[in-house]
């Protein structure tokens, strides 16, 4: 079983615009290796605790997911984004991974959400922000963006949170 298999059995959260704030944990799963797990994961917890998962330790309450539906003659798609603030110096990691596609897996309360796919992964856009005032810390405003055929999915039975 792989991440795409788990997504197939999940429930869509919405067919319109979605905004989710108050995200507790965010993980990035490289899209190109999401089907190459060494073992057979049975739950999202297995995936986010795997060696390929990147846990994002974002600044407190700065993580936000947005999805906007776009309809055209070509059909319906969703412009999805995940934004967060990060204060530590991650310049090298951002540059090394800016061409890397990711699934985004996040936890809000006890509910897991997954967005992205192997065909339409998320990519990292970032901007370094220097302090504009005495109280404003230097850091990164990071945005992951993707155009998807579905907004986001969640699981009916929440997986237990990672340790």
Distances (CA, A) of 107 to 39, 88, 92, 94, 101: 23, 22, 26, 22, 20
Q: What is the model's pLDDT at position 64? A: 94
What tens digit of pLDDT does each residue of 26-52 get? Answer: 998 888 655 544 444 457 777 788 778
pLDDT along the chain (163 residues), means of 10: 58 68 90 52 72 86 90 85 84 83 86 80 75 63 82 58 59
Distances (CA, A) of 153 to 88, 138, 159: 30, 34, 14
Q: What is the model's pLDDT at position 158? A: 45
Q: Which residues contact 158 (CB under 8 A, 6 or more apart)?
A: 110, 111, 112
Q: State the Cα–Cα distance between residues 127 and 46, nearest whole angstrom.
A: 32
Kindly report the pTM of this predicted structure. 0.76
Quick one: tokens of 12?
């869509």
């Amino acid at each position: 079983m792989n991440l795409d298999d788990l997504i197939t059995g999940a429930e869509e959260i919405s067919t319109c615009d979605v905004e989710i704030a108050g995200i507790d944990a965010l993980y990035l799963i490289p899209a190109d290796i999401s089907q190459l797990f060494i073992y057979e994961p049975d739950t999202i917890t297995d995936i986010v605790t795997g060696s390929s998962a990147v846990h994002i330790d974002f600044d407190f309450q700065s993580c936000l997911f947005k999805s906007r539906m776009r309809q055209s003659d070509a059909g319906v798609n969703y412009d999805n984004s995940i934004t967060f603030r990060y204060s530590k110096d991650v310049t090298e990691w951002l540059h090394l991974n800016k061409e890397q596609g990711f699934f985004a897996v996040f936890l809000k309360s006890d509910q897991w959400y997954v967005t992205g796919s192997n065909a339409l992964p998320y990519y990292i856009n970032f901007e370094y922000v220097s302090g504009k005032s005495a109280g404003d810390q230097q850091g990164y405003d990071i945005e992951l963006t993707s155009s998807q055929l579905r907004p986001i999915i969640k699981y009916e039975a929440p997986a237990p949170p990672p340790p």
